[in-house]
Amino acid sequence: MPLILSLVLMISHVLFDPSHRLHPLTFLLLVILTWWGFIEISEMKGDSRVQFTYFDLFLKTGMLSGVLVSVALGDIDYTFITLLGFISLIFGIILRKLAIQKLGVHFSYSLETESLETEREHQPIIADGIYKYIRHPSYLGIFLIILSFSIIYINLPGFLIEILFLWLYISRRISLEEKMMINTFGDIYRRYMRGTKKMIPFLY
């Protein structure tokens, strides 16, 4: 994902707004995305295979189209809103890092339906650290990372596209993942669900 976002960023500038291709903030964006890529590679201890359905691909393409619209139609400058966008980006990456670190070998990019049958014996429910407050910090991280582009470039159409496809993708993933966890761990996971929120502490 970091590499794909970097490519979308540069292609958008080259095709639609070459004047910002060498902007210092564009360079800063690329540096931060490179840092994110390094984190994902260095911290990943679990299964890094990416499995997806055609519907997943459609939703991910929609998310990236929102980023492309934001970069192509928006404007990057030294504003307070742009600063908020960078904060959202960095905070999202930190959440991803914390999630990957905490789960260790149990963190996976894919929904492992086949291996879950044996997980009850080998994997405890991770309920401390950031998982004490929210069940899906990695999805919240992705949400903030993708949304940060429309904030940085202050672009409403891109923001709306990103929100739509992000919500559809993340809601679907959470629903499937939690059904699998309930099927595997039963009441243990239900009790964990009752004591935590999905992505926003104390709210949702």
129 pLDDT band, cuts 50/70/90, is confident
pLDDT of res. 17 = 79
**Looking at the domain 2-194, which fold is it?**
Four Helix Bundle (Hemerythrin (Met), subunit A) (1.20.120)
Residue 10: its H or E element: helix 2-16
| Torsion of Cα atoms, 100 then 161 then 52 then 35, to 10° | -30
What is the distance between the terminal CA atoms of the chain, rounded to a whole angstrom?
25
The Cα 167–Cα 163 span in angstroms is 6
The 10s digit of each residue's pLDDT in 106-117 is 788 877 644 444
Give the pLDDT mean for 167-182: 92
Domain definitions of the chain by residue range: 2-194
pLDDT band, very low/low/confident/very high, at 86 (cuts 50, 70, 90): very high
Residue 160 is encoded by which pair of tokens?
């709306």
pLDDT per position as a tens digit, 16-52: 878 777 889 999 999 999 999 999 888 887 766 777 7
User: pLDDT of 65-79, one tens digit each?
Assistant: 999 999 999 988 999
CB-hemisphere CA count at 13 Å for 98?
A: 21
Mean pLDDT in residue range 149-165: 96
Cα 41 to Cα 36, 44, 80, 97, 188, distances in angstroms: 9, 6, 32, 11, 31
pTM over 0.75: yes
In angstroms, the CA 6 to CA 8 distance is 5
Higher-scoring residue by pLDDT: 39, 202: 39
> How confident is the prediction for the chain on average, in pLDDT?
88
High-pLDDT (> 70) share of the chain, %? 92
Structure-model confidence comparison of residues 28 and 54, the more confident one: 28
